[in-house]
Copies of this chain bind each other. A is one copy, B any other.
Amino acid sequence: MPHFDLPPEQLRNYRPELAEPADFDEFWSTTLAAADAHDLHVTATPVDTGLTLVDTFDVRFPGYGGSPVSAWLHLPARRVGPLPAVVEYVGYGGGRGLAHERILYAAAGYAHLIMDTRGQGSSWSVGDTPDPAADSGGPAHPGFMTRGILDPHTYYYRRVFTDAVRAVRAVRVLDAVDPARVVVTGASQGGGISLAVAGLVDDLAAVMTDVPFLCDFPRATTLVDTLPYAEVARYLKAHRDHVDPVYRTLGYVDGVSHARRATAPALFSVALMDDVCPPSTVYAAYNCYAGVKEMREYPFNNHEGGQGFHDREKLTFLRRVVPAPPAG
């Protein structure tokens, strides 16, 4: 059944009763404070992509535990004054890709930073940021979803969300960027990370989150058997005695809880035939989102969502909230 989830009118009102760990906010403030104890030393090395309209830099900044995180920075070759910036997080399995691959926001006049996701980057796009924490080697189901999942302190996404917050801090110290006009974005895992950053950083100019992953875990993990949510279920299929600690840990990561704390203006998208990040889980985050928000629905799409049609929506939204200066 292509519309396998709730009927549209129920989706638009779906709001799960999701318990939150009592120390949710303390957990994250402690975590970020520890990361911020590391100096924010950012390097940006120019690379030759063969493109003449866009300048690209290989960026490195210290993330969780101070270990280096890679990113690409794209800027219009001709630019005047500090630019509004878009910080982008990547979908599950991928990395920041090759230096010339994603230049849309720069072509629209923005500074654009694309962050690697630690450990990922060996499937649909490449990356080269390791996840050298000792915790990364704990017994886990193949993939990243269950690494260190028995304790929120060792859980993989604790490190990733911390990197993501640090990426916002890193982009703000760049000369080319206006620190008051930073937008975060991403699709799928990148959308889930965007929501977390929106909840953890309080002065973003906007959030654009597409078909976000990592939302409403109790529903997602029993509603679909597609990867990557299914990694959790497959882990629990083996470790029948780990159900409680696993869901406890996921409570610190759930995008619904982060959305409740986020206040920047937000543009969401959802696909009604999405069996990877099912629409009810996206609406769960949307309906709980604490800031001004807009939704775009794609009724006949699976997880690819709106693609170019939605990029058009995002360029329009961006132009509205953080207009880029005219081309230099």
Give me the interface of A with B, judged by CB distance under 8 Å: 1-4, 49-54, 76-78, 93, 95, 97-98, 100-101, 103-104, 106-109, 118-144, 146, 222-225, 230, 233-241, 243, 273, 298-302, 306, 308-309, 311-312, 315-316, 319, 324, 326-327
Contact = CB atoms under 8 A, between A and B. Distances in A.
Given A76-B52, A107-B53, A146 B134 contact: no
Contact of A109 (B53, B93, B126, B223): B53
Main secondary structure of the interface of A (DSSP, over half): loop
A108 B240 contact: no
A51 B324 CA distance: 10
Contacts of A235: 122
A109 to B, nearest CB: 4
Contacts of A122: 139-141, 146, 234-235, 238-239
Task: Name, among A54, A222, A235, A315, the residue most crowded by chain B CB atoms within 10 Å (CB to CB).
Answer: A222
Given A50-B315, A53-B327, A126-B239, 20 more contacts: A3-B222, A3-B223, A50-B312, A52-B326, A54-B107, A95-B139, A97-B308, A100-B308, A100-B315, A101-B311, A119-B139, A121-B139, A122-B146, A122-B238, A126-B238, A131-B137, A137-B137, A233-B300, A240-B306, A241-B309
6 contacts: A49-B315, A52-B327, A119-B139, A121-B139, A233-B273, A237-B273
Contacts of A315: 49-51, 100
Contacts of A319: 50
A124 B237 CA distance: 9
Nearest to A318: B50
A77 B326 CA distance: 11
A292 B289 CA distance: 49
A127 B106 CA distance: 26
Contact of A240 (B3, B95, B309): B309
Contacts of A49: 315
A4 B1 contact: yes
Contacts of A300: 233-234, 236-237, 240, 243
A174 B156 CA distance: 38
Contacts of A131: 137-138
Contacts of A97: 308
